[in-house]
Structure 1
């Protein structure tokens, strides 16, 4: 079985380490190669049996949709969610609206698009984050706010740096868990425990905690 690991380009050090880790693991059992997602070279994927999809940043606003859509068109099996799930879940506001419509509990929220302002904070504390980013991008130590002033500053920063809507969501304090699901199978639940982080760090998944302090975070 031939597996092609497809990734974003260029790779930073963190993502290069991730790609190498996946390739090294797969090489123990399969024939493996890796390549960046380049639209001019997509046809070369036809000879592979499976694409291990590590792309999340190609294209513009709906960036993680593109490779699944192309692979679906070519009839090549791939890992991860399909085109529809990626299109819906890249937008946190849309995801939360669907959850509400399905009767699934989700914290109170509203979104503020570029060019708009919010003059009221109906719940506190709140966390402000970009609508269409992942990996905790756009979540800083001061992204949890308790006043209209601080919320407006956090919203403006997201508009300026990411040119997209800001999601303002009630901040829920407490233990944090992550749950993986493959098809209908729920994988073992993992708790993310911040209690061992240095005192000067925030105890939630900000960008710096997630990307630079993983070794000091407990995963139970």
Structure 2
């Protein structure tokens, strides 16, 4: 089976090591090949039986959506979540609303749209983080706040 190991450009050293590790692991049973998301991606990916998706790229509000959307549209099976799942989950406030409405326990939260107009909250400690960043981007030691002043410092 010919497997595309899909990744974003440009690549950091950590990204390169991850792609190499996936290729090494898959090569024990399959024919994995690295495949960047570039101008030839749509044409080239059709040649593969399966895609191991490592892509996390995209715009600010559409991270991780592009590769699954393209792969799904072309009928190439792939690892990971669908484009719609990524589209929902990239925005933590939307994800938390869905969890709440579904009866799934989740810590309280407030979405702050304007850093110049931060509402008072009545729960501390609080964890301040960007709504639409992945992993730990935008998080630091100052992200855990114990009062309103702490929230305003992170804004």
Give the structure-2-normalised TM-score: 0.94
Cα distance in 2, alignment partners of residues 39 and 118 from structure 1? 42
Q: CA deviation at 1:39?
A: 4.3
- On the 8 A contact 1:5/1:34 being kept in 2, the answer is yes
Q: In the alignment, which residue of structure 1 is the partner of 2:150?
A: 150
Q: Distance between the aligned counterparts of 2:50 and 2:114, measured in 1?
A: 39
Aligned length: 155
TM-superposed CA distance for 1:28, in Å, is: 1.1
Q: CA deviation at 1:71?
A: 0.9
Match of 1:27 in 2: 27
Structure 1 unpaired stretches of 5+: 157-220
Per-residue CA deviation, residues 57-98 of structure 1 (Å, 9 max, x unaligned), is 233421211111111111111100011111111111100000
Q: Larger % of strand: which?
A: 1
Of structures 1 and 2, the one scoring higher in RCO (CA 8 A, sep 6+) is 2
Query: Contact (CA 8 Å) 1:120, 1:148: kept in 2 or not?
Result: yes
Map 1:90-129 to 2 at 5 A. 90-114=90-114, 116-129=116-129
TM-score by length of 1: 0.67
Given that 1:3 and 1:49 are in contact with CA atoms closer than 8 Å, whether structure 2 keeps it comes out as yes
SS at match of 2:69: helix
RMSD: 1.4
Q: Which runs of 5+ in 2 are unaligned?
A: none
Superposed, 1:57-96 pairs within 5 Å as 57-96=57-96
